[in-house]
């Protein structure tokens, strides 16, 4: 009886080894060449569009945000940290990036209320071409350029309203945004 059960166990062992070998073969046949690669998610799946076609055009930097009104205006996009100077025909004549303040005005339409050629900012930096247009929680908000040309990251522990730009952009803003000029803030 011991002999027949040894043969039975040997047969079962051989069958189990064959099954494991078969499953290992199947797994290796479907494995990626680089096993360290992350599996693709549905969002990362290839698109149905041909890959050899023309690449999409990059966004036109002078393209004015669509939700910014009409006519001559300064447009300030909070999320893009960008400003457009827009003429009466609705065309941007100048656009530039800015360093935002720690206090943001709410999206909406404002008017330039005051201007200063040269002052010291609330952060102690000498600034020029200051164009003020809003007040938020007793903090005056406006565009300005640091005389030293810096675009510092504002201290998040201080409430400041200075939206900083490069000096050349400050020159353009100063020429464009007189008292009463429209400023539109978009998200």
For 143, phi then psi, to 5°, come to -90, 145
**Alpha helix segments (H runs only) across 74-156:** none
CATH of 73-186, one of 2.60.40.10, 2.40.440.10, 2.60.120.10, 1.10.10.10: 2.40.440.10
Q: Calculate the alpha carbon distances from 87 to 71, 130, 186 in Å.
A: 7, 20, 17
Does pLDDT of 47 surpass 90?
Answer: no
Phi-psi region of 157 (alpha: psi -120 to 50; beta: other; left: phi over 0): alpha
Does pLDDT of 187 surpass 60?
Answer: yes
CB 98 within 8 A of CB 165: yes
> pTM higher than 0.75, yes or no?
no
Q: What mean pLDDT comes out for the span 16-40?
A: 48
Rounded Cα–Cα distance for residues 94 and 85 (Å): 5
Check residues 152 and 133 and name the one with the higher pLDDT: 133
> Which among 30, 48, 32 is positioned nearest to 40, based on CA atoms?
32
């Amino acid at each position: 009886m011991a002999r027949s059960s040894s043969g039975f166990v040997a047969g079962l062992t051989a069958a189990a080894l064959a099954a494991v070998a078969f499953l290992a073969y199947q797994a290796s046949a479907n494995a990626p060449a680089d096993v360290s690669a992350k599996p693709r998610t549905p969002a990362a799946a290839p698109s149905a569009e041909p890959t050899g076609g023309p690449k999409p055009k990059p966004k036109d930097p002078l393209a004015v945000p669509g939700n910014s009104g009409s006519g001559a205006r300064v447009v300030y996009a909070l999320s893009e940290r960008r400003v457009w100077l827009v003429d009466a025909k609705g065309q941007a004549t100048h656009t530039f990036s800015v360093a935002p303040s720690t206090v943001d005005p709410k999206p909406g339409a404002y008017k330039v209320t005051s201007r200063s050629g040269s002052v010291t900012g609330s952060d102690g930096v000498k600034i020029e071409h200051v164009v003020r247009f809003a007040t938020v929680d007793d903090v005056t908000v406006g565009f300005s350029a640091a005389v030293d040309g810096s675009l510092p990251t504002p201290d998040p522990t201080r409430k400041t309203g200075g939206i900083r730009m490069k000096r050349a952009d400050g020159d353009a803003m100063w020429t464009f945004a007189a008292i009463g000029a429209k400023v539109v803030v978009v998200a």
